[in-house]
Amino acid sequence: MVPEAPPVAATALPSASGAGPSAPGQAGPGAPPPSGGFGNFESPNAGPPQGKGTPWELGTGGAFASWRETMVQALFEPGKLFSSIDLEQGRKHLSFAIITGSIFLMVSQLIERFVIGPQTEQFRKMAQDMLGDRGQKLGPFVKSLMGVNTNSAATTIVLLFLAPLFVLVFLYANALVTHGFALLFGQSKRGFKATFAACAYSNATTVLMLVPGCGSPIAILWCVVLIGIGIKITHGASTGGATAVALGPYLLCCLGICALTTLGVTAAMQGAASGFQP
Amino acid sequence: MEPLVAEPVEIDRPALVRAGPPEVHARMLALVGVASFVAARVLSLDGPALYTCPFRAATGVPCPSCGATHAFVHLAHGEFGQGLFASPLFALLALALWTGSAFTLARLVGLRWTLALPDLRSQRARALRYAAVATIAANWAFVVFVSRGGAP
Tens-place pLDDT, residues A114-124: 777 677 677 76
ipTM: 0.77
The reply to whether A9 touches chain B by the CB within 8 Å rule is no
Check A41 against B26: CB less than 8 A apart: yes
Q: What is the pLDDT of residue A11?
A: 36
Check B19 against A19: CB less than 8 A apart: no
Tens-place pLDDT, residues A201-232: 999 999 998 887 788 889 988 999 999 999 99
Q: What is the pLDDT of residue A205?
A: 93
The reply to whether A19 touches chain B by the CB within 8 Å rule is yes
pLDDT at A30 over 50: no
Q: Which of A98-102, A182-186, A206-210 has the lowest mean pLDDT?
A: A182-186
Cβ neighbours of B16 in A, within 8 Å? 24, 37
**Best-predicted range by mean pLDDT among A4-13, A34-43, B131-140?**
B131-140
The answer for B 67-86 residues in CB contact with A (under 8 A) is none
Q: What is the pLDDT of residue A75?
A: 92
Q: Are B103 and B16 in contact (CB under 8 A)?
A: no
Cβ neighbours of B29 in A, within 8 Å? 172
Check B119 against A183: CB less than 8 A apart: no
Tens-place pLDDT, residues A53-88: 899 999 888 889 999 999 999 999 999 999 999 988
Nearest to A39 among B35, B104, B133 (CB): B104
The reply to whether A82 touches chain B by the CB within 8 Å rule is no
Q: What is the pLDDT along chain B (152 residues), one digit of tens a residue?
A: 444 444 444 455 567 777 778 888 989 999 999 999 998 888 777 766 666 777 787 778 888 888 888 899 999 999 999 999 999 999 999 999 999 899 889 888 888 877 776 665 566 777 888 888 899 899 999 998 888 876 55
Nearest to B18 among A3, A34, A192 (CB): A34
The reply to whether B108 touches chain A by the CB within 8 Å rule is no
Cβ neighbours of B121 in A, within 8 Å? 12, 14, 17, 44, 46
pLDDT at A96 over 80: yes
Q: Are A178 and A245 in contact (CB under 8 A)?
A: yes
How would residue A200 be classed by pLDDT, with cut points 50, 70 and 90?
Answer: very high
Nearest to A36 among B107, B117, B132 (CB): B117
pLDDT at A155 over 50: yes
How would residue A102 be classed by pLDDT, with cut points 50, 70 and 90?
Answer: very high
Check A39 against B19: CB less than 8 A apart: yes
Q: How far is B140 from chain A (nearest CA, A)?
A: 11
Mean pLDDT value across chain A: 74
Q: What is the pLDDT of residue B9?
A: 45
Check A41 against B29: CB less than 8 A apart: no
Q: What is the pLDDT of residue B111?
A: 81
How would residue A143 be classed by pLDDT, with cut points 50, 70 and 90?
Answer: low
The reply to whether B147 touches chain A by the CB within 8 Å rule is no
pLDDT at A162 over 90: no
| 3-state SS, one letter per residue, for chain A | CCCCCCCCCCCCCHHHCCCCCCCCCCCCCCCCCCCCECCCCCCCCCCCCCCCCCHHHHCCCCHHHHHHHHHHHHHHCHHHHHHCCCCCCHHHHHHHHHHHHHHHHHHHHHHHHHHHHHHHHHHHHHHHHHHCHHHHHHHHHHHHHHCCCCCCHHHHHHHHHHHHHHHHHHHHHHHHHHHHHHHHCCCCCCHHHHHHHHHHHHHHHHHHHHCCCCHHHHHHHHHHHHHHHHHHHHCCCCHHHHHHHHHHHHHHHHHHHHHHHHHHHHHHHHHHHHHHCC
Mutate which of A38, A41, A145, A161 to test chain B, going by most B C-beta atoms within 10 A? A38
Query: Domain limits of chain B?
Result: 20-147
